[in-house]
Amino acid sequence: MIFTVIEVSALILAVWPPLRLWRSRKLAVLFGIQQRWLAGLLIGYLLTVGLLAAWFPGLLHLFALIVLPVSAILAWRARKDYGKSQGMPPGSLSLTQSFAALTDRNYYLEQAAKNGPVFKMAQFHKPVVCIIGLERGFRLFREHRRALGPSKQPFDRVVKGGFLRYMDDQVHGLYGPLFMKALAAKNLASFRPLISSLCQESLGKMASDCRELASGAFSPGTYCDQLTFDALLLTLFGLSKDMPEYQELSDAYPGLGAYSLAHPVSAETNRSLEQLRQFLTVYCANLPESSLPNQRHCTLSVLQSIDPEMPDEVCVDNLLFMLKIASNNVSCLLQWIFKTLADNPDWMEKIRLDSNQSKATEQRALHSRIVDETLRMAQSEYLYRELTEDVSFEGHTLPRGWLVRLCVWESHRRCPVFDQPEQFNPDRFAGREFSRNEYAPFGYGKHACNGAQLARLIAGEFARILGSDFVIETTGDGPVERDFRHWSHWRPSAHFKVKLTQKASVERSARHTLREI
Does the structure show a pLDDT above 90 at 285? Answer: no
Grouping H, G, I as helix, E, B as strand and the rest as coil, residue 147 is helix
Report the chain's mean pLDDT, rounded to a whole number.
90
Does the structure show a pLDDT above 80 at 195? Answer: yes
- Please check whether the domain covering 155-516 is classified as CATH 3.40.50.300: no
Query: How far apart, in Å, do the first and last CA atoms of the chain sit?
Result: 88
Q: According to the model, what pLDDT value does residue 513 have?
A: 36
d(CA 501, CA 207): 5
Which residues, in sequence order, are bridge partners of residue 385?
404
Q: According to the model, what pLDDT value does residue 515 have?
A: 41
Listed by start position, the domains of the chain span: 1-77, 155-516
- Per residue in 391-422, pLDDT (tens digit) is 999 999 999 999 999 999 999 998 889 999 99
The secondary structure of residue 427, as a DSSP letter, is G
- Per residue in 455-507, pLDDT (tens digit) is 999 999 999 999 999 999 999 999 999 999 998 999 999 999 999 999 865 44
Q: According to the model, what pLDDT value does residue 3 have?
A: 62
Q: What are phi and psi of 175, to 5 degrees?
A: -90, -30
Q: Per-residue confidence at 56, pLDDT binned at 50, 70, 90?
A: confident
Cβ(370)–Cβ(347) under 8 Å? Answer: yes
Does the structure show a pLDDT above 50 at 516? Answer: no
Mean pLDDT of all residues in 436-458: 92
- The number of angstroms, rounded, from the C-alpha of 397 to the middle of its chain's C-alpha atoms is 29
Cβ(127)–Cβ(93) under 8 Å? Answer: yes
Q: According to the model, what pLDDT value does residue 12 have?
A: 81
Q: Per-residue confidence at 357, pLDDT binned at 50, 70, 90?
A: low
Angle at 492 between CA 486 and CA 493, to 5 degrees: 95
Mean pLDDT of all residues in 340-367: 77
Q: According to the model, what pLDDT value does residue 512 have?
A: 37
Does the structure show a pLDDT above 80 at 365? Answer: yes
Selection from 105, 104, 135 nearest residue 118 by Cα: 135
Grouping H, G, I as helix, E, B as strand and the rest as coil, residue 393 is strand
- Per residue in 237-273, pLDDT (tens digit) is 999 999 999 999 999 999 999 999 888 999 999 999 9
- Which pTM was predicted? 0.91
- The number of angstroms, rounded, from the C-alpha of 338 to the middle of its chain's C-alpha atoms is 17
Half-sphere exposure of 459 (CA within 13 A, CB side): 30
Does the structure show a pLDDT above 60 at 62? Answer: yes
